[in-house]
A and B are shown apart, each in its own frame.
Chain A
Amino acid sequence: MSTTKAGTDRRVMTGADILVQSLVDHGVEVLFAYPGGCSMPLHQALTRQGDQLRTVLPRHEQGGAFAAQGYARSTGKVGVVMATSGPGATNLVTAIADAKLDSIPLICITGQVPTGVIGTDAFQETPIVEVCRGITKHHYLVTDIADLPRVMKEAFYIATTGRPGPVLIDIPKDVQQDTVEVDWDVPMDLPGYNPTPQPVAAEKVRQIAAAIRRARRPVIYAGGGIINSGASDQLRELVAKTGIPITTTVMGLGVYPGEDELSLDMLGMHGAAYANYAVRDCDLLIALGVRFDDRVTGRVQAFAKDAKIIHVDIDAAELNKNKVAHIPVCGDVAEVLTELNKIVEAPEDISEWVHHCQKLKQQHPFSYDESFDGILQQHAIRELYKATLEHDPYITVGVGQHQMWAAQFFKFRRPRTWHSSSGLGTMGFGLPAAMGVQAAHPGSLVIDIDGDGSFQMNIQELATCFCEKLPVKVFLLNNQHLGMVVQWEDRFMNRNRAHTYLGPIDHEEAKGPSDADRFAYASDRYPNFVTIAKGYGCGAATVRRKADLRGAIDEMIAYDGPFVLDVEVPYQEHVIPMIPSNGTVDDMILR
C-alpha cells in the first residue's frame, strides 16, 4: 500500500463527507437523492459539495433511481441514487432489479439505522442488503467508517467493469456521523473479481472469420453489449466489410443505423417479420453482446435451429446458458470485433441472400392503417420521428404497446439515444429516465414516449422536471387502457376486459366482454392530463385530429420547459407482428 497521497491528504472527516468526497473524486456530477431520517448527514454533506456535485431531488425514490439509470444509460457513466433507510431503500428495489437485468452501472446509496439498533426492527429499518442480494451485482453494509474509502473505490470499479450492473452501499447513520483520519490510498480487496477477460485468442478470431467466409446465409444479431462495450463503430465496420444483414435486440437499438438497407431492425416477439424470417433461415448467426432472451427467441429450441452460432459476450455465464453456441467467445465485444475486422473477408457470395432479406423487408414492412382519419399510435411515432430528425433527440419509453411501437417506428442512428426498460419491463420508467437523460444532456431534446398507464406510475416526477429545470417532453399516447394487456385479452382471452380500462369502473369499457370496433376511442377521458401537467407548472396540450398532430409536436418541441402532449388514440390497435409467448416464427401473427 502506497502512502504518498495519504501523507499529504490525511485529514479527519465524517463518514458522510468521505462518501460525498468520494463521489466527487470518481467524477460524479449529478446524483438523485431523496432524504430521510437515516440519510440526513449525507444530505448535509452534499450541501457542502454543492458547487461540485448537483443533487436533484426526485419526488419518489423510484423516480430518482430511474433518473440515475437515464443518466447512466445515456452517458455510459455511473448513475448515482441515494435514499434513506426502510421505505426509502425498498422504493429503490424495482429500479435496482431493472439495472441488473439491463446491465446498467448504478450506485445506490441507502441510509441505514444506526449499527447499535440493526436487527431490532427499529423504526424505518429494513435489511436492504438481504432484500437486494440477488438483484445487485454487489452490495455492501458498511459497519466501520475505516472501510468506506475502499468500499467506494470497489463499488465504482465493480459497477463499471466487466458486465456492468448495480452496486448497493448501505451505510448506517452512526457511520455517516463517525469521524476518522481518512486514508484515500487504500487498495481494493477483490480477490474473486477479474472483470478483464483474457485477450481473445487469435485462433478464435480466425475461426469466426472462417465461419463468416464460408457462410451462405449469415445474420448478425446485436444487443446491449455493443453499447456497453462501445463497439458500435467496430460493428458498423464489420457490416461494411462483409455486407451481412444485421438485426438488433430492443437493448441494441441505435448500434446500427435503422435506416440503412442492411438493417433488419429489431427481432423477437414484436420484432420485424423480416428479421425473424432471416434468423429462422440463416446458416450463420453472429450473436454479439446478447443473451438469447425468451422475448427474442420464442421457443428456444426452434430459434435459428439450422444455424451455426457464434456468441460473443463478456459474461461467461451467458455463453451456452439458453442456447448452445458452436463458437462461444468470452470477451469484450469491441476488442473481438477490432481483431476480427483486421482479418475478416466478405463471405464468398451472399448477394442472393441479401437480396432475399431485402425482399422480405419490402414484403413485410412495419405498417398500420394510414387511411384512418384519427391518430394511430404508430402514425404518431412516425410523425414525431420526422418532426424531430434534425434535433437528434434522446427517446425514453415506458412499457407496453407504445414501447414496442416506438422500437418499431422510431429509427435510431446512434447508441445511447434510445432508453427502454427492456429486461425487467418496468412501467413508469419513461419519465424519470428522461429526467436523468436531460440532466446529463441539458441542451438536448429529450422525449418520453409514454402510455397513460406507464406515465401514471411515476407522474409525480413532473414536479422534479419543473422544479429542477429539466425540460423533458412527454409524448403521451393516451388510449385510456393498458393496451398490451388488452391486446392479449383480445388475442387469447375472448376479449374479456379484466382490469385493463383506466377510467371509472362504471364506464362501459370496464365491464368484461368487449365488442369495440377496431378504431374505437374510450368514451370519456380520465384523468385530465393537461390539468395535471399545468398543476405541476408544465406546459400541456391535447391533440386528437390527425391534421393537428404536426403542429402540436412543433409546439411541444418549441416550449421552454417540460411539456406534456396528450395524444388521444384509439384502444383497439394491436402491436403486429407478434410471436406468441414460447412460439416460433411460424406462429407469427402478421395482422
Chain B
Amino acid sequence: MDIRTVRETVYHWIFAALAFAALVFLIGIILILFKEAWPFFAQYSVTKALLGQSWYPTASPAEFGMLPLIAASVAVTVGAMAVCVPVGVGSALFLHELAGPRLRAVLKPTIEILAGIPSIVFGFFGMLIVAPFLQNLLGIPTGLNAFTASLVLGIMAVPTVSSMAEDALSFVPASFREASLAVGATRWQTLTRVIVPAAGSGISTAIILGMSRAVGETMTVLMVAGGAAVIPRSIFDPVRPMTSTIAAEMGEAVTGSPHYHALFAIGLILFLITLFFNIIAEIVSRRFRLKLGLGR
C-alpha cells in the first residue's frame, strides 16, 4: 500500500463522513424536537391537546387546545392550493405547450424571480397592499384573514409547483404526443387527456411539495392571516396557523415552561406533517419514474 492509495482512501472516507452531515442534522432536529416537546405531552394528553379548542397559554390555568391552530393551518393550506394548483399547473402547461422557445426563455427566469422573492416581502406586500384592497373591494371587516393569506401563500407556492410540473411534463415521451395528434386529437385534447395523465404522478409530486411549502410558511401568514386563535367559520375570518403561533409566542415563553414545551410540541407536529408530505411525494415520484421507464 503506497502513500497514494492511503491518501485516496483517506479522502474517500473524509467525503463519506461529511456527506452524512445532512443525515446528522436531520436526526438532530428530530431529537431536539422530541426532547423539548416530550414534557408537554407527558403533562397534557395528546387528544386533549390536538382536539382542544381553547388556546390560552398564559391564562391560569393555561389551556393548550391546538385545534384552532391546526384548523387554521389546514384552511390556509387548502386555500393556498386552490390558488396554486390551477395557476401553477396552468402556467406549466402554458410553458410546455403554448410558449415558443423565445417566450419560454423570458418566462422561465421570470417565474424563478418569483421563487426567489423572500417570504417577508410577500407578507409585507400582502399586509400593506392586498389586505386593504380586498377589504375595500369585498366590504369585509378586515383584510387580514384566511382568504388573503391563502391568496398570497398560493402565489408564493406557484413557482415550486410550476417548475416541477413542467419538468414532469417534459419527461413525457414525445411519442405520446405524436401518437395522439396522429389520430386526430386536438392539441388541447392531447394535453388534457394524454400528456397530463401521463405526467400525473410528477404533477402530483409537485402539488404535494407545494402543499408542504404552504403549510410550513411562517412570515407571510404571521403578517397577513390576522392572528385570531379560533376555528374559522368563514374564509374571511382571521386565523392563526401553527407557524405564526410559534413565531409570535416563542419570545415570551420562559425556557422550560409548559408554554415553551407546548410551542415545541406544535413545532413537532408541523415537522411530522411536512415529513409525511415529503415521504408521500417521494413514493409518488418514484412510481412516476418507473412508469415512464426512467429507471430508479
A and B are interacting partners:
no
A contact residues vs B (CB 8 Å cutoff):
none
B contact residues vs A (CB 8 Å cutoff):
none
